[in-house]
Structure 1
Amino acid sequence: MTSQDALTPRPAATLTRGAVRGATALRGGRSWRPTPFFVCGGLFWLVMTLAYWRVPMCCDFGQHAAVVERLRASLLHPRHPMADLPGAGSPYYSPYALAQGVFARATGLAGWEVVKLAGPLNLLVLLSGLNRFVRTLTSRPWAPVLALLAMVLLWGTRTAWWSGYLGLLSMTGNLGYPSTFAIGLTFWAWAGAAKLRTGGPWWGYGGLGVLMGVILLIHPITSVAALIGLGATAIPPPGTRNRARSHNRATLSPLTGWPTALLATAAVTSIWPYYDVLSLVGDSSVDHIHRQLYTEMPARFWLALIGLPALWLRFRRDRRDPLAVMFALDVLVIAYGWVTGHYTYGRILGLTLVPLQFSLAIALAAPRPWAWPRRTLGLCAATGAALGFLTVQAGAVVPRGFDQPPMWPTYVWAAQHIPPGDVVLTDGYRPTRSLPGYGPNLLAPAWPDPALDERERERRLTAVRAYLSPGSTRSERTAVARRYGVRWLLLDKSQRLPAEAVMVAWSPRTGEVLARVDGGSPRESR
């Protein structure tokens, strides 16, 4: 710059554009203003974190806490999550779980404490991913807020409580689960795919492929819906040629970019040492558990159909609309699960509602929300949200007067007497799902796992029934205890305490009894 240029005054507009971001309006700069989603999403994060923390360990929580406990004991060779058996091949040992195990070892926290702390982090990933994805569909500032409200309220008038279901009530139990983290990453992946629809840098496609590989390893069934959404979002708009947008060698067209992403996904999943994700293809061991996902579907999900008119209009305007394509393909996958008996595919039902919910939110966030017929749609949405809140979801944040999340009893009273790794024999529904989260092992795991042959699990379940049978003899019980290394019994108040067992503790809330037996060293499990 010459001396003459330096002395020449700049136009006021130039001074304004060059002002430091964050300067006050008095100095001609722009002050940062929080977006509606930053405020509303932040409040939602705080309220739901507190709501999640008030719900005790229940349902699948103990399983995920047990995974952290096993990794805390051995990062490289963790045992089976719930039994004193080898854990090689268990899909629970994902990158997400490994990170939790490293954190537990570094901090000394117990598995259940790590899972509790994971809830706020997972929710942050979920909310930021939602905001990012919705912003690729519309620039309307209130659309992400309305999408969040629709996602947590517009379900049905009967409780849908399952991992990966993002209704307000269900979130109080599953925020700390891998499925919630995987769904948050899925939203981020869809947002990334939208930016690469017409081409992009090779590292963009490669990074997206790595992200999809991580989702696949963390929660394989969520990856089915994630892949469907990725394909729907990545469809180039009409009139877009399949070529790179510049002559830069680092920029790829979709024709070469998406194979790059696929290769990155394959590389991530193939090098993961804990389990082979391809071994899960065709696995039907948990299909019978998921059959209940298909029961009472209208009552559980009908409020989401309020968004169907908005989704239909999007399809009428653009046959390649990502939300419309996503919804159609998700419905086909769910139908396939029903027809074939592979009911596990019903796990994507939670994400199947997203196109309906987000389409409705985007329509209501339009510049003239009260123009007919949008006014009618808005009234239906408000009525549906109120109905869903009052009939199902309110118990998540209102402690009395509504149906509450499951409030299972704690098993700290028993776990404090049991050294980590000791084998416990019990057939109670709640202790078999909760107790391993504190460190003990079960004789018979509650759920199937590819790391354990299902025939062996059935033999162990038979052994538990034989031991607890009123007609069992002392010698029969001793044989079971020694074979599997049983050192503890946890019995409910209706079960008889064997003569050779010594009561150690009992729960005044449930009447359950913890007793010590001498099972010696197991012959088969070590």
Structure 2
Amino acid sequence: MPQLTTGPLTADDDGAGAARDALIVRAGRYRPTPYLILGTAFWLVVGITAWRAPIQGDFGQHASAVQRIKDDWLHPMNPLLKVSGANSPYFSPYIVALGLFAKLTGLAAWRVVKLSLWLNLAVLLLGVWAFTRTLSTRRWAPVFALAAFTLVWGVRGKEWSGFCGLWSLTHGAPYPSCFAVGVTLLLWAWADRLARRDSVVLHDRPGALFREYAPYVGLGAAGGVLLLIHPITALAAWVGLACVVAGRQHGWSWPVAGRWAAACTAALVVALVWPYNDIFSLAGDTTVDAVHRRLYADLWHWYGLAFALGLPVLALRARRYRRDPLVLMFLADCALVGYGWVSGHYTYGRVFALLVVPLQFGLAVEVAQIPPWTRVRRVLAPLAVIAVLVGTAAQIGAVVPQRYLPVTLRHPRGWPSYGWVADHVPDGDVLIADGYFAPHTLPAYGIFMVNPTWPDPSTSPAERNRRFFAARAYLDPHTPPDVRARIGRRYDIRWLLLRRGQHVPYDGRLVASNPATGERLIRLADG
């Protein structure tokens, strides 16, 4: 080994030099872990794919909320409609932070949301690593967990906000739900660390009370922020946190119970003091239940692999330890999902995104833990490899272009770009259009619509229906001109976007068109 110094040490620098040499030696011997290497590769591949993906899905909803904060962070307008945004649940701490960043940098809101995907993926990867380390110390366990978490879902790719399969992440990485899932895994790891502590008796030393309570208060406050960012993920997160504590905490005493009570109190206080909306008003709200019924529609295709391999593993873990946190999480989440089905509150179907986590992580940890010569390993490991291969085949089309794969493999459907519309329509103008793609995409550029394209609990059902019928009447070619004019004045409509072959009488001028889609943008004369 080469010498670390080039000359004799003096008495003054002997200690500092030895410390420096020790650091150099340690740095020279450091080898990156498999998870650091493969996780970084995953971060880059999925990040680049999501960065290049067109604006589609829920992206417009989140970007429009960021734009409203950028425009006026104290009194933002509704993300989708030209009305007050008071009590809109879309103004979470996450969205407000992005909006203030957009205001500070001057970047367009949709560009800031695009940039956020790198942070979200980093938090998600850190969460996978941290939670896996509470379950296993094996070097390859986090790698197996990442593979199971993103690939072992079902035999068909599923895209839904908050679902972290590879197919979904390539479009959903910029969404707050991705960030929320990563924070959930970090909170579970944090709770596991606190619960493993012995029952500590508080001492009279100065600062002892603060040192004992601060980690619990911090955990609770972070959980309260998570509730504001993504309520349904937070519900499953808090249920999982309770299961971690129930499975790991030993030596219950009044001081221990008091510290966990402080965590719950901190979460409640954070949620109550948030000024933009009352998050607890969403309890029992049925606005988005109908949208989520599809999550119960095809369980095998979407979650079959995770259940087929994960259930036997959880049974083994339950046999070893009845209070295993993964087993408790799975049972609790099943109860939540079952309640959603029985009650008709299908929004609870979003808990499926975290219900499969115990199945996936249990499988990964079991494969990592079992010595290679055991009978269980000889059966479980090949099945896990097959599940990963099937999951990869079902989702690989999301990251690999069509020209490199067989035509039989599925690929996500790309949405048309509406940047050409945003080039002409100023931020804050109202545009009317029908179809599916345009009304869901255009809010990303700060454009208001007449009727909400996503259900917003802050807008009453009567108002949503009134706007829906007004938009339909305006676009009906048989509507009398005076009725169309009244609708235009009522909602301050300034622009009209017509699909190919759509004929609506209008008083205005053609501004732009898209030859690829046949759509035409009209600037209305009375707008």
- TM-score, normalising length: structure 1: 0.91
Shift of 1:19: 7.9
Q: 1:367 to 1:387 in 2, by over 3 A?
A: closer
SS in structure 2 opposite 1:196? helix
The one-letter code sitting in structure 2 at the alignment partner of 1:396 is: A
Shift of 1:399: 0.7
The one-letter code sitting in structure 2 at the alignment partner of 1:379 is: P
Residue from 261, 264, 271 that aligns with 1:262:
264
Q: Deviations over 1:152-174 (max 9, x none)?
A: 11111123210011110110110
CA contact (8 A) 2:225 2:271 kept: yes
Shift of 1:449: 1.0
Residue from 358, 363, 373 that aligns with 1:360:
363
Give the gaps of 5 or more residues in structure 2: 1-17, 201-211
The residue number in structure 2 matching 1:504 is 511
The residue number in structure 2 matching 1:307 is 310
User: Is the counterpart of residue 430 in structure 1 residue 430 in structure 2?
Assistant: no
The residue number in structure 1 matching 2:131 is 133
CA contact (8 A) 2:248 2:325 kept: no
User: Is the counterpart of residue 92 in structure 1 residue 90 in structure 2?
Assistant: yes
Cα distance in 1 between the residues matched to 2:22 and 2:302:
48
Q: 1:237 to 1:486 in 2, by over 3 A?
A: closer
The one-letter code sitting in structure 1 at the alignment partner of 2:226 is: I
SS in structure 2 opposite 1:398? coil
The residue number in structure 1 matching 2:289 is 287
The residue number in structure 1 matching 2:203 is none
CA contact (8 A) 1:196 1:254 kept: no
Shift of 1:494: 2.4
Cα distance in 1 between the residues matched to 2:74 and 2:152:
43
CA contact (8 A) 1:172 1:405 kept: no
Q: 1:470 to 1:242 in 2, by over 3 A?
A: same
Cα distance in 1 between the residues matched to 2:62 and 2:320:
44
Cα distance in 2 between the residues matched to 1:470 and 1:159:
40
Q: Deviations over 1:464-518 (max 9, x none)?
A: 1111112112112111111111000111112104141321111111111111113
Cα distance in 2 between the residues matched to 1:237 and 1:135:
14
Cα distance in 2 between the residues matched to 1:369 and 1:510:
56
The one-letter code sitting in structure 2 at the alignment partner of 1:242 is: W
Cα distance in 2 between the residues matched to 1:138 and 1:120:
27
User: Is the counterpart of residue 78 in structure 1 residue 89 in structure 2?
Assistant: no
Cα distance in 2 between the residues matched to 1:441 and 1:105:
19
The residue number in structure 2 matching 1:481 is 488
Shift of 1:219: 0.2
CA contact (8 A) 2:192 2:248 kept: no
CA contact (8 A) 1:21 1:31 kept: no
The residue number in structure 1 matching 2:209 is none
Cα distance in 1 between the residues matched to 2:20 and 2:65:
52
The residue number in structure 1 matching 2:330 is 327
SS in structure 2 opposite 1:161? coil
Displaced runs of 4 or more, over 3 A: 17-22
Q: Deviations over 1:215-256 (max 9, x none)?
A: 000000101110111001112548x3114xxxxxxxx84311
SS in structure 2 opposite 1:388? helix
Shift of 1:342: 0.1
CA contact (8 A) 1:79 1:87 kept: yes
Aligned residues: 492
CA contact (8 A) 1:426 1:489 kept: yes
Query: RMSD value over aligned CA atoms?
Result: 1.8
Cα distance in 1 between the residues matched to 2:442 and 2:213:
47
Cα distance in 2 between the residues matched to 1:291 and 1:98:
30
Shift of 1:308: 1.6
Cα distance in 1 between the residues matched to 2:510 and 2:444:
22
SS in structure 2 opposite 1:210? helix
Cα distance in 2 between the residues matched to 1:133 and 1:422:
46
Residue from 221, 226, 229 that aligns with 1:218:
229
The residue number in structure 1 matching 2:476 is 469
SS in structure 1 opposite 2:78? coil
SS in structure 2 opposite 1:353? helix
Residue from 153, 156, 159 that aligns with 2:154:
156
Cα distance in 1 between the residues matched to 2:188 and 2:401:
36
Cα distance in 2 between the residues matched to 1:384 and 1:114:
36
The one-letter code sitting in structure 2 at the alignment partner of 1:389 is: T
CA contact (8 A) 2:506 2:524 kept: no
Shift of 1:62: 0.7
Cα distance in 2 between the residues matched to 1:297 and 1:503:
47
Residue from 442, 445, 451 that aligns with 2:452:
445
Q: Deviations over 1:249-296 (max 9, x none)?
A: xxx843111100011001111110000011000000110111111101
- Correspondence 1:185-200 to 2 at 5 A: 185-197=183-195, 198=197
Q: Deviations over 1:180-233 (max 9, x none)?
A: 101111011001110111457211100000110010000001011101110011
- Identity fraction in percent: 46
Q: 1:154 to 1:487 in 2, by over 3 A?
A: same
SS in structure 1 opposite 2:525? coil
CA contact (8 A) 1:210 1:268 kept: yes
Residue from 107, 110, 123 that aligns with 1:109:
107
CA contact (8 A) 1:481 1:518 kept: no
Residue from 229, 239, 251 that aligns with 1:241:
251
Deviates further, 219-228 or 396-405: 396-405
Q: Deviations over 1:349-380 (max 9, x none)?
A: 11110100000100111251352121211111
